[in-house]
Amino acid sequence: MGTRTIDWEAIHRRLERAEAAFSGGPCSDPEEIRRILGERARIAARPALEPDEAERLEILAFFLGGETYAVETSHVREVCRLKDLAAIPCTPPFVVGVMNLRGRILAIFDIGKLFELPSKGITELNRVIVMGDDDDEFGLLADSIEGVRKVSAADLQDGLPTLTGIRERFLKGVTGQGLAVLDGGRLLADDGLRVNEQVVV
């Protein structure tokens, strides 16, 4: 079998034409052409990003009154056990009391009462989801915590026929699996969830 001769000049000319076609002008440096084409090949070989990757929400899912809800972790400061709950008089029914959290007096809300969910009773098995921002902080009562997961913001539906009234007001959206994601910003900003009145004994 004969030895095949490689025509490097012809290859260089093809590279020049390819670069001219890509950039709209000639390029006389073969090494620069190889570098550019090699870089373009590496970019083309990268796996495509998911279209909603920048819009994925990290949520904390929890059980309440036999239903599963979730809230964005960006509004959650911590999760702790319910302990040493002290009831306070002259407050709305959804305010189950206050607890001392490392020196901070934290109001504990049972949004299940707002949502008219069946109550399982309050025990020390309950968990408290501590919500907070620069202005407000309170705890949401949960029967148990399911865990943290990520969902696509683009996949959230507006709501369900069963989620009406106050549940709809605090709703951010519903996942394709039917998980109701609450709007933590609305919960924290709602004047109805603030306990500022002084109790006269």
Q: What is the pLDDT of residues 122-145, one digit of tens each?
A: 877 889 999 988 778 999 999 999
Claim to verify: residue 58 and residue 155 sit in the same structural domain:
yes
d(CA 51, CA 39): 23
pLDDT (tens digit per residue) in 30-64? 666 666 666 666 666 666 555 445 478 899 999 98
Q: Flag whether 95 is in a domain.
A: yes
Q: Flag whether 83 is in a domain.
A: yes
d(CA 47, CA 12): 30
Give the pTM: 0.66
Sort 7 into a burial class: Cβ within 10 Å, 0-12 / 13-18 / 19+. exposed
Claim to verify: residue 119 and residue 96 sit in the same structural domain:
yes
Query: Which range of residues forms the domain containing residue 183?
Result: 53-193
